[in-house]
Amino acid sequence: MNKMLAFPKDFWWGSAWSAEQAEGRGETGKAETNWEHWFKTEPNRFYEGVGPEITTDHIHRYKEDIQLLKETGHNSFRISISWARMFPNGGVGEVNDKAISFYRDVLTELNKNDIKPFVNLFHFDMPYALEEKGGWTSREVVEAYVTFARTCFHEFGDLVYHWFTFNEPLGPILGGYLENFHYPNVVDFKKGAQAAFNTILAHAKAIKAFKELNLTSKIGVILNLSPTYPRSQNKQDLEAASIADAFYVRSFLDPMVKGTFPKKLVDILKNYNQMPSYEEVDLKIIAENTSQILGLNYYEPRRVQARLTKINEQGPFLPEWFFELHDMPGKRMNIYRGWEIYEKGIYDLCIDIRDNYDNIEAFISENGMGVANETRFMNNDNQVNDSYRIDFIKDHLAYVHKAIQEGCRIKGYHLWTFIDCWSWINAYKNRYGLVSLDLKSQERTIKKSGEFYKKMSLANGFEY
Ligand code: BGP
């Protein structure tokens, strides 16, 4: 028999998206972003040649959209603030009054509707002029980011519930400096390590600036943390998994939450001459300014085995010198996105945070299922009958519920995403929303999952 899974009082039911993926250019003035620039120079990299200018057009429709947030049961919602909109002169200089008005309007409207605004500062997009200066490898960019952050705290601090410095800081490092799915798309580990270090420093400096303002909200970071599973319990596989975990999980989690760097990772970087440059004072700033709240993005696990094939150590240094990904037979896939579906991963992740990170206050900040050609599942009323997404949400939430029962401080669940929105490189291929979007008419229609989400939020739980 089904039983009711009830969540703690005031649980945050919501979803997330980002400025570049949802807003559209609008008329406020905005610097060219790294993504806009990349699209201009290499449009063929983007699915069906669709770039970031074709969006959900939230900038013109935010009032209507906030009503849809209500209708889909949101009591909280994460947006990001566009750095390029706030500082249209290449990310520095005069702040843009029109951008301030736009974001203040959105945040006021959210509060008026009892939807707690969660605001993130960096979600992959930066003014292209700063990217040209070296992006995150440049100290100048770190300082420009801290000015951007301080300006946002100052202008919007009275309207924001919780702040986040970065969304998935690993993404731009992996994609930009190792794996070719993010600007500047080069293969250069050492540059990537420098960009990662500077990102961690920027996070700490933004927290320092935040604390100086004595706001009542909290500030933290949103990390994509795929739990790492070894193929077997043999020594070589365990060691391979532990190295992969150091590169991809502890690399940001440790410094951004604990203020320290994982020894295993530092030792490898030293041995292979891949250390970034830094000053002693940076380490002090990082140690003293850690996250007060942690967002957990979870999509799929990372399965790892010891290297079977020998690596050419003459080529550029790569984390994969030390492990291989393991293609586990029988794993369940979301074939559209090519990601494994493994619900228990979300539970293992929560337990890791409980046991190894002082049980810091946390929430699931992204989790979701991207599906191609969703119009296939439309009924006669143009409504997408996405029962697969409802099952996906329930199966993951059941594990979140179990983690909470076992003492994890998980305060909410945010789905990726609200209305189908543009995605990095994949454009509109995979749809994730609770609300579907007709790209031509811009018409929004609540999917079955949106109706379910409202019911679940009102009941503060669901039958399972
Ligand atoms: C996360 C990002 C989101 C979103 C999501 C879905 O990593 O924070 O911005 O895009 O993944 O991924 P994708 O759009 O690539 O399918």
CA torsion 283-289-293-295 (nearest 10°) is -40
Residue 36 has a pLDDT of 98
Q: pLDDT per residue over 159-182, tens digit each? A: 999 999 999 999 999 999 999 899
Q: pLDDT per residue over 72-107, tens digit each? A: 999 999 999 999 999 999 999 999 999 999 999 999
Residue 314 has a pLDDT of 81
| 53 backbone dihedrals φ, ψ, rounded to 5° | -80, -20
| 421 backbone dihedrals φ, ψ, rounded to 5° | -135, 170
Exactly one of 20, 109, 168, 300 is catalytic; name it.
Answer: 168
Is residue 389 over pLDDT 80? Answer: yes
Residue whose CB lies within 8 A of the most ligand 1 atoms, among 56, 225, 423, 437, for a mutation test: 423
Q: Indicate the pLDDT class of residue 212, thresholds 50, 70 and 90.
A: very high
Report CA(439)–ligand 1 centroid distance (Å): 19
Q: Indicate the pLDDT class of residue 309, thresholds 50, 70 and 90.
A: confident
Atom of ligand 1 nearest to the CA of 416: 5
Number of structural domains (the chain) is: 1
Q: Could you write out the DSSP letters of every residue in 288-329?
A: H---SEEEEE-S--EEEE---SPP-TTS---GGGS-EE---T
CATH number of the structural domain spanning residue 178: 3.20.20.80
97: containing domain: 4-463
Residue 310 has a pLDDT of 73
> What is the ipTM metric for this complex?
0.98
Residue 19 has a pLDDT of 98
Residues near ligand 1 (Cβ within 6 A): 18, 21, 167-168, 171, 224, 337, 366, 370, 416, 423-424, 426, 430
Atom of ligand 1 nearest to the CA of 423: 14
Residue range 190-196: mean pLDDT, rounded:
98
Atom of ligand 1 nearest to the CA of 222: 8
> Among 180, 181, 185, 146, which Cα is nearest to 165's?
146
Report CA(170)–ligand 1 centroid distance (Å): 12
Q: Whose CA is nearest to atom 14 of ligand 1?
A: 423
Distance (Å, whole) CA 166 – CA 92? 19
Q: pLDDT per residue over 418-456, tens digit each? A: 999 999 999 999 999 999 999 999 999 999 999 999 999
What does DSSP assign to residue 135? G
Report CA(271)–ligand 1 centroid distance (Å): 34
What does DSSP assign to residue 259? S
Residue 148 has a pLDDT of 98
- Between 16 and 309, where is the model more confident? 16
Report CA(416)–ligand 1 centroid distance (Å): 8
- Between 107 and 313, where is the model more confident? 107
Atom of ligand 1 nearest to the CA of 432: 6
Report CA(131)–ligand 1 centroid distance (Å): 21
> Among 256, 194, 22, 193, which Cα is nearest to 123's?
22
CA torsion 251-252-253-259 (nearest 10°) is 100
Distance (Å, whole) CA 422 – CA 50? 9
> Among 195, 200, 169, 199, which Cα is nearest to 184's?
195
Q: Indicate the pLDDT class of residue 312, thresholds 50, 70 and 90.
A: confident
Report CA(169)–ligand 1 centroid distance (Å): 12
Atom of ligand 1 nearest to the CA of 224: 7
Residue range 36-62: mean pLDDT, rounded:
97
Query: Does 366 qualify as catalytic in the annotation?
Result: yes
Is residue 240 over pLDDT 80? Answer: yes
Q: Indicate the pLDDT class of residue 374, thresholds 50, 70 and 90.
A: very high
Query: Does 168 qualify as catalytic in the annotation?
Result: yes
